[in-house]
Structure 1
């Protein structure tokens, strides 16, 4: 339910300002590689990732906004033990890790204009993480919210004054708390960009 509310709010903000000057909207496909504790739990590269960004541009080089996304990692690990109360189960373990970052972001373009616009971006906020181990009828699930941040480097290739293609790399890092260790992953983003810079 909370995801529907968030989506509705983001949609309303975008709809109200999409045609105003100084806006940038990015819709990204984001295959990702787990790192650190995330890779210890699920080591497989994932093609199940996407994120959405809405930015208000102060000028042609700097802007700030919000980001929402999701990435899902999965791995089948053979010859594992799962203990639940007084029962111990042995067999193949199915591991799932889902991260949903919701962050405030800022972006800086290195050039004023041109067909290729390299940029750097940084974001910080919340990551809603869910870790699941599944062995037959036994399921162990931990859901937790962690504070996190992410830097990004990339470029926008402008196809016209209003449309572009984006490629970038995003490194996500969350901070450990009592329920879950820190998590990290690297996202490789390819996206569609709607532009309307102030002139």
Structure 2
């Protein structure tokens, strides 16, 4: 009986040691390269973004969770003149295009490697993203808003750099489906940050 109790205690201790990484919280700086219709509206790469992500490990190889993010695309179009609707004159000024994007995603990830070591992973997110499209000409601006369904497959890696701290980097392909009067939107996301055991 004593041997059985000792064995059970040892197994519990071993499990706790090998599966210490149960929950992580990640903060990432997000950069992006627009594609397709997103690139047609704002051609420049974006260096204005961030992601907050929570992951819960259901076993040592798989996690589920959620992520919240923000990305701003911006392009200066130069000094332009456009005709007002109804042929009621023209307006001239410095022209800017912006897309502000706020994704809310449920996530799933599958991990390679062993806990405590470098952990490459693959995964995906699915959810909704709020897009704000702005065309500004001088002091006048036209703003459109739309929710899109969005998916984001990704590959990444968690690299331990200290006790319960990881370097977290990944690449995502973000695709927002056509919605309302707005075309599908797409961009590559490049993220780097820190993740912490909870």
What TM-score do the two structures reach when normalised by structure 2? Answer: 0.83
User: How many angstroms apart in 2 are the aligned matches of 1:158 and 1:82?
Assistant: 57
Runs of at least 5 residues in structure 1 that lack an aligned partner in the other structure: 1-19
CA contact (8 A) 1:155 1:166 kept: yes
Match of 2:68 in 1: 68
Q: CA RMSD in A?
A: 1.8
User: How many angstroms apart in 2 are the aligned matches of 1:136 and 1:153?
Assistant: 41
User: How many angstroms apart in 1 are the aligned matches of 2:23 and 2:81?
Assistant: 50
Deviation at 1:84, TM superposition (A): 4.4
Residues 142 and 159 from structure 1, CA distance in 2 versus in 1: closer, same or farther, beyond 3 angstroms?
same
Highest Rg: 1 or 2? 2
Deviation at 1:119, TM superposition (A): 0.4
Aligned to 1:171, what secondary structure does the other structure show? strand
CA offsets, 1:9-50, max 9 Å, x none?
Answer: xxxxxxxxxxx9611111100111111101100011111010
CA contact (8 A) 1:81 1:91 kept: no
Counting only pairs closer than 5 Å after superposition, residues 1-150 of structure 1 correspond to structure 2 as 22-78=22-78, 79=80, 81=82, 83-84=84-85, 86-150=88-152
Moved more, 50-59 or 107-116: 107-116
Q: Alignment length, in residue pairs? A: 177
CA contact (8 A) 1:76 1:93 kept: yes
Runs of at least 5 residues in structure 2 that lack an aligned partner in the other structure: 1-19
Moved more, 123-132 or 104-113: 104-113
Residues 53 and 82 from structure 1, CA distance in 2 versus in 1: closer, same or farther, beyond 3 angstroms?
farther
Deviation at 1:179, TM superposition (A): 2.3
